[in-house]
Amino acid sequence: MTEPFVLTVRYKDQNKDFNAELRMLGYSYKIAIVVDEVEILFEPDEEKNYRAVVTDATGKEKLPDTALLQAIARELELAFK
């Protein structure tokens, strides 16, 4: 089951909108967000902090900026806590 939504993140003094998808996996879930043409899965850890996981890195893509991924994770923590 997937549930799409839009996540707005403040990054470098700009609001950026990302299409996100909540993916239920048994008793857990992951949030898929495409950032700079790379799908990133955000998953909660035991303390409900989110970590980013690159799903299909072949080494050819340029990975998104780490600070942007951290900003997305913070916004997810605020939205889902």
The model's confidence at residue 21, banded by pLDDT at 50, 70 and 90, is very high
pLDDT of residue 1: 61
Q: Cα(57)–Cα(62) distance, rounded to whole angstroms? A: 9
32-71 residue pLDDT tens: 999 988 899 999 988 889 999 986 655 656 788 999 999 9
Tokens of 42: 């955000």
The model's confidence at residue 5, banded by pLDDT at 50, 70 and 90, is very high
Q: Over range 16-40, report the average pLDDT.
A: 92
